[in-house]
Structure 1
C-alpha cells in the first residue's frame, strides 16, 4: 500500500476536538500549531547523548544550547539554534510553508553543538539511522504531516469489530505505514485523533492484518490493487484582509473557492479595513474584492495570475 494512487476526490471531514477516551502521546520532537511547525526538546525525554567517541548521560551534560539538525538543513549542528523555555525545554518555531509538500524528514537534537540526543526505542516516530547506505547503531526522529493529538483536527472512527485484536490507521499522511497509528478501542468503536496538515489524503484501516476502506465514508477512489481507498480533505483557515476603504458600505470576497459569487461572502469591517476568514482545502485560488459593486485586486498581494478568460486575479495558496 505504498504505491501511488490513481485518482483523488475531496471530502470535507467533520472533526471533533475533544475525545472521551485515552489518547496516545504525540510524537516526540515536534508539534504543529496552525501554520507553524514547533520543534520541542525536553531533556527529560532522553537518557543518553552520543559525542564523537563516547556516549554520555544527558543528566551529566551542562547544556549550553540545543540545535535542531536534520535532512532539511543538511544536518547542521549550529544553524537552527533553539530557544530555552525553562530548565528542561527548548523550542524552535518554523513556518510550515518552509518545508516541502512531501513533509517526511529525519532529524535529531544536538546539545552544545557536539552531542546527539538519542531518542528512546519506545518512541513511535523513530527510524534507523543510515550513513552511506549502511545502518548505524542509532536512531533518528522522523516527522510527518500527521501525528496523534487528542486536540487534533481529524478524528477517525471504525464502528463495530469488537472482537478485533488490533486496528491500525494507515494512509498517505504517514506513507502507508502499517504499525505507526494504532487505534484505541472504546465501548462503541475504534478511534484515533490526529493533527494533520491541511490537504487531501487517502487512508484505510487494517483490522487484524486485513485492509479495508472506511465503511462510513462514501468518498473513495480506486487504487492500484483494484480495491478502494477512503478519501478525506483537511481544510485550513485562510484570512483575507483589505486594508482601508473605511467609507465603503459593503465589501464582498469573491473567488474560485465560491464560484465567483457576488453576494455569499460579505466581509466584516474592522478598525483597519475589512476581513473575512474561510476554511479552504490545500490548493491555489484566484480571488478579488467587490467594493460597493466595483471589482478590485488585492492591493497588498503582489501575487497575481491571468485566468482562462484573460482576467487578472489575486492568488491565494493554501498549504
Structure 2
C-alpha cells in the first residue's frame, strides 16, 4: 500500500463550503475551519490505515476508535472533542485549533483558519464512483459567462477553462462533480490558460479552481454562490432543454415563466436569435407548465401542442423532462370523465384528464424520482387507486402513494397476524398515519425514494410504535424510546 504523504503536508488551500451530503472528500482528511481542526475518519479503513492516520496526526488509536463509535462529544486528555456523522461511513472529529497536533505546528504558524492539509492520493480511500449533483430548491437554471469561451459542452463532456495563469506550476479543478477532490482532476496548460474536460450529466454543480494551492472562483462565470467562508463557489448548469419562440422579432423583451419559477415574469429572459428567441436551460425532471411573456403579453408556446387547463380556467403549455409513469384505472368504463390529481400537480381538479381505453382509463405522466400521493376523480367523486395497496392517511383522507424509482425498501419480519403496519419518520414529517406497509410471504415491506442523507424512522404495529429490530443503528428521542437511523449514501 502506497502512503508517501509528500512530507505529510502537501499544500495549503481554502476549503469550499458545500451544503450537500457527500462521501469522504478524497485527500481532505484534515482541515481547519472557524478556529477548529477537523479530521474525517472512515469506518472502512483497515487497521493499517488507522495506524498510519494515527501516527501522521499524533492521534491516539483509542481516541480514533471512540470517535468512530459516533459519540456526540467526549473528553479525552482534558480536551473536549466533538463528533459528527457525515454519512454511514464517514465520521468527523474536531477540537479547538489551540490543541492542533504537533505535526501541524512545526512550520505553519501562519496558517489561516480555513486552510486544508492535502495528503497525497494514498489517502483516497473512498474513490468517487458517482457525480454529485446538487439538490437545489430552484427547478430551473441557466449559465452566464462573461466570455463564451469560458465554458463549452460537447459529447456529454463539460470543458472548463481558466484563462491566464501561465506562470502557475499546477492547476486543479475541484467541485461537487468529483466530491471536492483537490488532486483528482488536474488541468492542462493551453495557449489561453488551463483546460480540462469531465463527463457530466444534466444538473447543477459547484466548483472552483486551485492554482498553485490557492482556491479561485471562475473569474469568467457570473453565476456564483456564497461558500460559507467569505468567498464564492462558481455555479455551473449542464443543460437539458432549450426554450424556443419563433418570430416576434420586433419584440423588445421575451421571457418565460412557469411552475418552475412560481410564474414570475421577466426573471428568465430569452435571447434574440435569427428568426426568433431562445434560451438553453437546465430543468429538473418532472412535468412543468409554462408560458412565454412577450412585451408583457402572455402566450402559450405555439409550437407545443400539449396545452392543458388549470383550476382557474387558464390554459398553459406543458413539457416533461425525464421518464414517464403510466397511471391506469381499471373499469369505470361508463364514467363521463376521470381526473388524475395528486401532490405532483398541486392536487388540481381539472388539469389531468385521463384517456378512456379498453378496460378503463390511462394517462402517461412525466415524473421526477420521488414519492407522491394521488387520487382519481371519477365523475366528481374522489377515490384512491383500487389497484395500489400502498396508502397514507385514513378515512376520507386516505390517499394512494406511489414511489417512482424507489431506492430503499423498509422491511419488518414477523408480526404476520398484525392488522396494520405503518412506517413513519423524518421522510414524511413523522405522520401519525404513516405509510401503510404490504404483507407478502411473511414480510412487511414498503418502497420509498429517499434522497442522500440521514433519516430517522419507526414502525407502527397495530398502534404500537417500535424501532426497527433488524437495525442496530438508532438514537435517542424526546420520549426516551429511541428512533431507528437510516443513512442513504449518494
TM-score, structure 2 normalization: 0.31
Structure with more of its chain in strand, by fraction: 1
* Larger gyration radius, structure 1 or structure 2: 2
TM-score, structure 1 normalization: 0.43
